[in-house]
């Protein structure tokens, strides 16, 4: 069958919630052994339990890991590699910031840099030596903010631009080792983060603002985490063996059809 990942091991950062949980669930459903790395150990364990219940016989493991901490990442990957080769790395962990340059502090910049950029660096650096032995797949989570100007996303946009260009560089440098590297650029996806943002900033107007944000996508709605996960599955599967060094918007027409 197409898109099977039987016998493969995947590592998903930020895999405990939102898009990351959907990715972990989808990869496990396709037969991969999935290792969820997340800052929230309890949520990671809950995600693993839920996925195993949905897919009896699946192998899903939870790890507490701060991707911004290189020592933690190195130790976690080393522990996984004692029992398994890592075939797939999905660098999904990331944090957001809302504000233009005047509303962005040096501390904000450092916080996003540590997670969104160095997190990708740490996890990829830890996995690359093993992948060089027999190939592998690296998939990074970028954003439409890496391609178009979005109001009040100064720091976030620059970090996602870095993710996209890191993807191109990795794809070029490790092509000869059979390592494919691509990135995905979602527009607005309906996750718990969106719901929390609306509750915090628009109390009593959540439904109104949700509809307003949804309509910024030409397709007229936000994406769903499972839709992103479906694209991840394709790019991580052997069906995408001819695909590397590319950015894949999944945006309801946001980049090309707005304006």
Catalytic residues: 156
Q: What residue ranges in 92-225 does DSSP mark as E strands?
A: 136-141, 179-186
Give the phi and the psi of residue 231 in degrees, each rounded to 5: -70, -40
Residue 66 structure tokens: 């701060």
Contact 245, 167 (CB under 8 A): yes
- Give the list of residues 6+ apart from residue 152 with CB closer than 8 angstroms, or none: 98, 99, 100, 103
- Give the list of residues 6+ apart from residue 28 with CB closer than 8 angstroms, or none: 34, 51, 52, 55, 58, 59, 60
In the sheet that holds 247-250, the strands lie side by side as 60-64, 33-38, 9-13, 88-91, 136-141, 179-186, 247-250
Contact 218, 257 (CB under 8 A): yes
What three-state secondary structure class fits 33?
A: strand
Nearest CA among 247, 253, 228 for reference residue 161: 247
Contact 93, 115 (CB under 8 A): yes
Cα angle 78-82-87, degrees, rounded to a multiple of 5: 80
């Amino acid at each position: 069958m197409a898109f099977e990942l039987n016998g493969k091991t995947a590592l998903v950062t930020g895999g405990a919630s939102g898009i990351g949980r959907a990715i972990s669930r989808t990869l496990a459903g396709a037969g991969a052994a999935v290792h969820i790395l997340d800052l929230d150990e309890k949520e990671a364990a809950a995600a693993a339990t839920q996925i195993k219940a949905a897919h009896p016989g699946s192998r899903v493991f939870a790890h507490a890991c701060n991707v911004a901490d290189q020592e933690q990442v190195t130790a976690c990957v080393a522990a996984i590699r004692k029992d398994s080769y890592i075939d797939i790395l999905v660098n999904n962990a990331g944090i957001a910031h809302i504000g233009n340059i005047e509303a962005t502090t040096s501390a904000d910049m450092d916080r996003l840099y540590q997670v969104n950029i160095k997190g990708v660096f740490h996890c990829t650096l830890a996995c690359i030596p093993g992948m060089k032995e027999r190939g592998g797949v690296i998939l990074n989570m970028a954003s439409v903010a890496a391609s178009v100007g979005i109001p009040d996303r100064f720091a976030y946009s620059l970090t996602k631009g870095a993710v996209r260009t890191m993807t191109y560089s990795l794809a070029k440098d490790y092509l000869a080792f059979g390592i494919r590297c691509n990135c995905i650029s979602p527009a607005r996806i309906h996750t718990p983060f969106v719901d929390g943002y609306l509750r915090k900033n628009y109390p009593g107007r959540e439904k109104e603002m949700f509809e307003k944000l949804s309509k910024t996508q030409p397709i007229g709605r936000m994406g769903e985490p499972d839709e992103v996960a479906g694209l991840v599955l394709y790019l991580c599967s052997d069906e995408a063996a001819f695909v590397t060094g590319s950015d894949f918007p999944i945006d309801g027409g946001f980049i090309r059809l707005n304006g």
